[in-house]
A and B are shown apart, each in its own frame.
Chain A
């Protein structure tokens, strides 16, 4: 048996290596273009087309290699040009527009000039161009799950195999299922969907559970605002997820598996569907995997975009064709899940970690991260940071390192105010918590949670009350409406928060918010409801003074809540005769004073802030204040 597995797989690997070598050794330049959704949104399709056209026009031979996402959203579209004949190492270019693509084709590919002003760095050590590995955004990451993302073509299974893909499957097929479960248990891997349940334990429970047709589900119903880790992984390296699913199925004894992915991720759906097809063709999936008697069918189920369907019992309901509403647990899905069968539901990142664990061993995995949270964490860091994007770091790195060193800190010399971790279920932490290590337990202790990996960084120009309102608006809209606390409770939290942001807060509102939040947390049926008040509870705990300012002074310290702010023009700074602000005001609220300076009619102003943006930096005469009463009253001169 062992021999047959090796024989079959060696043939596949040889083919993969042959293709890889042919690509590498071809005496032409290679252009790697990041073509995941993020790249495409920034114009990667046009960039690719521009390269193709320019190459054809100038009669240059080169190979275009489409890859997934490297996680550096701020730099998209990203192109790496490997042009050995020029004498330069492979060069990383950022923000490569179609125009830049044409220019690089001519100047670098044809004439050998890499145009240093556009170079971000070299992708390997050399003496000519500084390597990107010298930048914190690169060298402080630890890539386990995303190791191959952005390096391989997600649509080509051989690309994955050439990078030692599916080798852990070969290893696993020669082990007993129990041995795999033991390895995963020893690695200490915890579920990356948010709650952090030990994965090995879950698999063990499923293995022991009675059922003829056990099922594996990969949960890719990512719905947190600002989170896109799962999408990127599926789009950039679907085979690592599939390999994890196959390993899981082999370990628990399942014959069927489903990737539950949102329909709003069309590229991920397409990529993973194609990957399944390719794996089947090579007998890495389907009937008799690599010649053994182990069968596994994987299908793709497209979720219709309900946030609550990321909750495992609601997800099962949704696959069964019912309304996606959570069910009471127990029974847990590992005992009785989809169609009554024992079902393992794991997040994309959890499953994608498994091939690495089996390849390198549990001890290696344990050496990364912390004692109670081994391995890496992937965050999509967005908001007020210089280098937003996907970051994979070892657990235990502090928030400060992640935000300030790796992601470049806060832009425009603004001050850090808070970071929201874990999306609508998570918490809002202030600067005092910047030295908190990122791991499951420390974040929970601080009042936030790991969540699935959304991280929104806020600077001083943000209002925590408004952020809470935003998240409650989200959870209220996404509440399935089944249980009283979530359906009605979140509505009341939202309506109080809306009142506060409109300056209609009254005494007792904060206590009411707190009490209702605690009841919703204790009384709700599912995780969505139980965690929905978290943004309110944590921001009330750490930013109570801001809430109080909204209630008693009708003041918004972040100057965000429109009803609590006003714009006025500082007459000492305003330049006589300048009319830029007046020109851009959409409601004609700007008028001229007697001495030909400008002022704002507060009764007309809609507080869009256009005038503040437009006022030339030399004057900076437009001021924003809160409460609105701070704006001096200037009378409009009578019309002549």
Chain B
């Protein structure tokens, strides 16, 4: 066990646990999207920044393991600035039609926007939406590229369940999407028996047909 200080609160935790996990287990909310307990941290959503004494700039808390006497601050100006920009970036590529969205009121983006006091339609940023509104290529699931925030939780949950992921990131840059491999033999897909990807999606970008 190690002892550390998060926002002036003394906390005991198992050595080696990701700092983000320790924060969340102790009711200290740190914004996060791509973190999935039990899988290797991806550090891709760039939201879970915190400041650690001794480091010259904010670091992602999912990639840091707790150490003895660590002094952590989760609510500094630099941290919030990065989190707000990251969220504004995500929202600028998100189709904000909350009333029609099944994730409404259970949506992580809404929660983050409220927590970070960021408007759902960020000003000064152009909106970029992908051409395909719904990708229906999978026999069991539908995928909504303009809801998806590309956290990759579906991929890692799938990998956790099946040993290898049945979906993947595809394309590059602003065009990046989640894609199915297009398995020819449908019987090899678990089908409706496994909906791990649907369950972990924070914005309901993957749904059962």
Contacts and interface: CB of A to CB of B under 8 A. Distances in A.
**Interface SS of A by simple majority:** helix
Contacts of B168: 323
A306 to B, nearest CB: 8
Given A483-B44, A484-B45, A477 B172 contact: yes
Given A484-B86, A484-B89, A516-B85, A490 B173 contact: yes
A487 B174 contact: yes
A482 B169 contact: yes
A484 B58 contact: no
Contacts of A481: 150, 169, 171-176
A489 B44 contact: no
Interface string B159-193: 00000000011011111100000000000000000
A566 to B, nearest CB: 27
A186 B57 CA distance: 32
B92 interface: yes
Given A482-B44, A485-B46, A489-B89, A522 B58 contact: yes
Given A480-B172, A491-B174, A328 B41 contact: yes
Contacts of B43: 328, 483, 525
B120 to A, nearest CB: 16
Given A323-B169, A479-B173, A481-B171, A525 B89 contact: no
A488 B174 contact: yes
A508 interface: yes
A524 B172 contact: no
Given A508-B124, A524-B46, A525-B43, A485 B89 contact: yes
A490 B81 CA distance: 17
B82 A522 contact: yes
A492 B173 contact: no
A552 interface: no
Interface residues of A, number: 29
A323 B176 CA distance: 12
Interface in B26-59: 41-47, 49, 57-58
Contacts of A485: 46, 85-86, 89
A492 B171 contact: no
B46 A492 contact: no
A10 interface: no
A116 B174 CA distance: 57
A532 to B, nearest CB: 11
Interface in A464-483: 476-483
A323 B60 CA distance: 22
B46 A484 contact: yes
Contacts of B86: 484-485, 523
Nearest to B126: A495
A584 to B, nearest CB: 38
A487 B150 contact: yes
Interface in B51-91: 57-58, 60, 63, 78, 81-82, 85-86, 89-90
Contacts of B45: 483-484
Interface string A485-528: 10111111001000000000000100010001001001111000
B136 interface: no
A478 B172 contact: yes
Contacts of B125: 492
Nearest to A330: B63
B93 interface: yes
Interface in A113-164: none
Nearest to A488: B89
A495 B174 CA distance: 12
B91 to A, nearest CB: 10
Contacts of A484: 44-47, 86, 89-90, 150
Nearest to B85: A519
B128 interface: yes
B209 to A, nearest CB: 26
B82 A523 contact: yes
Contact of A328 (B49, B63, B85, B169): B63
A476 B82 contact: no
Interface of A: 306, 323, 325, 328, 476-485, 487-492, 495, 508, 512, 516, 519, 522-525
Given A323-B168, A484-B89, A491-B173, 8 more contacts: A328-B42, A328-B43, A477-B172, A478-B173, A480-B176, A481-B169, A487-B173, A487-B176
List the 8 shortest-distance A-B pairs measured between CB atoms, nearest first: A481-B176, A488-B89, A519-B85, A328-B43, A491-B174, A479-B173, A328-B63, A484-B46
15 contacts: A328-B41, A479-B173, A481-B150, A482-B169, A483-B44, A484-B90, A488-B89, A488-B92, A488-B128, A490-B173, A492-B92, A495-B128, A512-B124, A523-B82, A525-B44
